[in-house]
Amino acid sequence: MRMVDLIEKKRDGQELTTEEINFIIEGYTRDEIPDYQVSALAMAIFFKDMSERERADLTMAMAHSGDTIDLSAIKGVKVDKHSTGGVGDTTTLVLAPLVAALDIPVAKMSGRGLGHTGGTTDKLESIPGLHVEIGREEFVRLVNEHKIAVVGQSGNLTPADKKLYALRDVTATVNSIPLIASSIMSKKIAAGSDAIVLDVKTGAGAFMKTAEEARELAHAMVSIGNNVGRRTMAVISDMSQPLGAAIGNALEVREAIDTLRGNGPKDLEELCLALGRQMVFLAGKAASLEEAEEKLREAIRSGKALAKFKEFIKSQGGDASIVDDPDKLPTATYRIEVPAKKDGVVASIVADEIGTAAMLLGAGRATKDSEIDLAVGLILNKKIGDKVVAGESLVTIHANRENVDEVIEKIYGNIMISDQAAAPTLIHGIVT
Ligand code: URA
Ligand code: CA
């Protein structure tokens, strides 16, 4: 097989066979096929698209390009949740104990990554003593015993995707539905779960700027999952403004505790229930999505979800007393209010820019090696559609330095107040 012929084939809009796709991904992983040929192929895919079968083949080829995780020693249906990224997205911290409280195994592998805040593992590490560096056997034991464990990412997962994603980044081929869908799904499949729930974000803070694009991506990923034998569902959710109120690591742990108590921000709770009910349904613990949601609500009402969070913290060496006494979490030295300059209604809160404001405080990593300040971040006191009076606080800044002028400027530049505005629709659709 010659790579040049395969590029030509795709350039002319023909389908690649399973063998051809495997040849490309195996050759590329072993550095036998050069970047320039794969760039040309990625551009051809960008313009000519891929069939459902090609997308599934590409996903599986990338999933098997490195290590895969075997969770078969864990009893029950393992359901993973994945979000396409957003600002202040606290859903994993809520969903992991909430779903585990219904005896569904949650075997969560989570990265640190770059972003406005740390990843789930960083957020959890704001709990004193809690550690996520756990060996594979211990991980399995913890999930079997407690139904929940969170481990830091390790091993050589999907090297083909890592190379291809980096290449796409510099060849203007990131924004291709078949390439994005196979990239995300390959990682989920390598991580070993039986079923997958996807939270596809749309809006300023998201990869997919319109609900239409998000829907297309959601359909593409759900088809791939179902075609390769992993039952998959998706929720399309709004990320035009940050989710919930908290953006920051320890601040989001507090927010998750509030939500597990039933006192969290309404949008965060609504999205957690929308995603959670798909997880419960796919795990086979409810006959319908409605029944699944009722079980989740009951786990919150009865305190079982909160108790599960405590059990989880303890099992990974953490101080579970932070749940009843969140002041034991890292706390910033300064609290600075950002008052509204006029009366009106909040019309927009530009999610990615507000995320950047949190990052300027030190809540997230700019480079792989930057240190995170777990205590700092932002609390949004108003969301889109809320009335404000001049002088009322829009945002509370939690900082470990006195001068936060640039952060304040960024906040004022990205929260608009006008005469009228309505809260955006949170859930744009579900794909099953
Ligand atoms: N996230 C991924 O993991 N892959 C893509 O291609 C795009 C976003
Ligand atoms: Ca949040």
In a mutational test of the pocket of ligand 1, which residue from 83, 84, 157 has the highest number of ligand atoms less than 8 Å from its CB? 84
Which residue among the candidates 187, 215, 277, 382 is catalytic per the annotation? 187
Distance 176 CA to ligand 1 centre (A): 10
Query: CATH number, domain at 299?
Result: 3.40.1030.10
Residue nearest to atom 7 of ligand 1 (CA): 180
Identify the DSSP state of 157.
B
Q: What is the pLDDT of residue 379?
A: 98
Question: What pLDDT, on a 0 to 100 scale, did the predictor assign at position 168?
Answer: 96
Pair 236, 373 in one domain: no
Q: Quick one: which of 276, 266, 205 has its CA closest to 426?
A: 266
The DSSP bridge partners found for residue 346 are 417
* pTM higher than the cut 0.90: yes
Three-point CA angle 152, 157, 160, nearest 5°: 145
Q: Domain with 16 in it: what CATH number?
A: 1.20.970.10
Do residues 222 and 198 touch, judged by C-beta distance below 8 A? yes
Q: Is residue 336 part of a domain?
A: yes
**What is the Cα–Cα distance from 25 to 18, expressed in whole angstroms?**
11
Pair 270, 376 in one domain: no
Query: Can 82 be counted among the known catalytic residues?
Result: yes
Q: Are residues 288 and 348 in the same domain?
A: no
C-beta separation of 134 from 142 below 8 A: yes
Q: 212 and 86, same structural domain?
A: yes
Residue 206 and residue 132 in one domain: yes
Same domain, 114 and 262: yes
Residue 55's nearest CA partner among 229, 220, 233, 176 is 220
Q: Give CA–CA dist 185/61, Å, rounded.
A: 11
- Ligand 1 touching residue 165 (CB < 6 A): yes
Structure letter (DSSP) for residue 203? S
Active-site residue, 168 included? yes
Of the candidates 126, 183, 237, 240, the residue annotated as catalytic is 183
Asked whether residue 291 falls in the same domain as residue 394, the answer is no
Residue 180 CB–ligand 1 contact under 6 Å: yes
Query: Residues 339, 229: one domain?
Result: no
Is 128 within a domain?
A: yes
Note whether 351 and 258 are same-domain residues.
no
Per-residue pLDDT of the chain (432 residues; tens, 9 = 90+): 999 999 999 999 999 999 999 999 999 999 999 999 999 999 999 999 999 999 999 999 999 999 999 999 999 999 999 999 888 889 999 999 999 999 999 999 887 777 888 889 999 999 999 999 999 899 999 999 999 999 988 789 999 999 999 999 999 999 999 999 999 999 999 999 999 999 999 988 788 889 999 999 999 999 999 999 999 999 999 999 999 999 999 999 999 999 999 999 999 999 999 999 999 999 999 999 999 999 999 999 999 999 999 999 999 999 999 999 999 999 999 999 999 999 999 999 999 999 999 999 999 987 878 889 999 999 999 999 999 999 999 999 999 999 999 999 999 999 999 999 999 999 999 999
Question: Which atom of ligand 1 lies at the shortest distance from residue 187's CA?
Answer: 3
Alpha carbons 376 and 332: distance in angstroms, whole number: 6
| Structural domains of the chain, count | 3
Taking CA atoms only, the protein residue closest to ligand 1 atom 5 is 180
CB of 158 sitting under 6 A from ligand 1: no
Active site residue 199: no
For residue 394, how far is its CA from the centre of ligand 2 (angstroms)?
A: 15
- Read out DSSP for 222-291? HHHHHHTT-EEEEEEEE-SS-SSSEESHHHHHHHHHHHHTT-S-HHHHHHHHHHHHHHHHHTTS-SSHHH
User: Is residue 125, in this structure, part of any structural domain at all?
Assistant: yes
Q: Is residue 67 part of a domain?
A: no
Considering only CA atoms, which residue is closest to atom 3 of ligand 1?
184
Q: Whose CA is nearest to atom 6 of ligand 1?
A: 180
| Closest-approaching ligand to the CA atom of 94 | 2
Return the pLDDT at 273.
Answer: 98
How crowded is residue 20: how many other Cβ atoms within 10 Å of its Cβ? 18
CATH code (residue 348): 3.90.1170.30
Distance of CA 246 from the midpoint of ligand 1 (Å): 25
- Do 140 and 279 lie in one domain? The reply is yes
Residue 60's contacts (CB-CB under 8 Å, 6 or more residues apart) are 186, 189, 228
- Pair 312, 339 in one domain: no
CA distance 17 to 258: 51
Asked whether residue 70 is domain-assigned, the answer is no
Whether 261 is catalytic is: no
Asked if the structure places residue 423 within a domain, the reply is no
- Chain CA centroid to CA 183, Å: 14
And the tokens for 313?
Answer: 């913290």
Domain extent for 109: 79-325
Q: Determine if ligand 1 sits within 6 Å of the CB of residue 185.
A: no
65 within some domain: no
pLDDT value for 81: 94
| Helix/strand number for the chain, H first, E second | 16, 13
Strand 195-202, strand 231-238: pairing: parallel
Residue after which a domain boundary falls, among 288, 305, 325: 325
- What distance in angstroms lies between residue 85's CA and the mean position of ligand 1's atoms? 10
- Pocket probe for ligand 1: among 46, 180, 188, 239, the residue whose CB has the most ligand atoms within 8 Å is 180
Q: End of a domain among 325, 351, 373?
A: 325
- Which ligand approaches the C-alpha of residue 383 most closely? 2
The C-alpha torsion from 185 through 187 and 190 to 191, rounded to 10°, is: -110
Give the ligand 1 atom nearest the CA of 174.
6
Closest to 238 measured CA to CA, from 384, 60, 63: 384
Question: Does the beta carbon of 412 sit less than 6 angstroms from any atom of ligand 1?
Answer: no
Identify whether 201 is a catalytic site residue: no
Q: How far is the CA of 160 from the centre of ligand 2 (A)?
A: 32
Q: Please report whether residue 59 resides in a domain.
A: no
One domain, residues 315 and 342: no
- Residue partners of 382: CB distance under 8 A and separation at least 6: 340, 346, 388, 392, 394, 395, 415
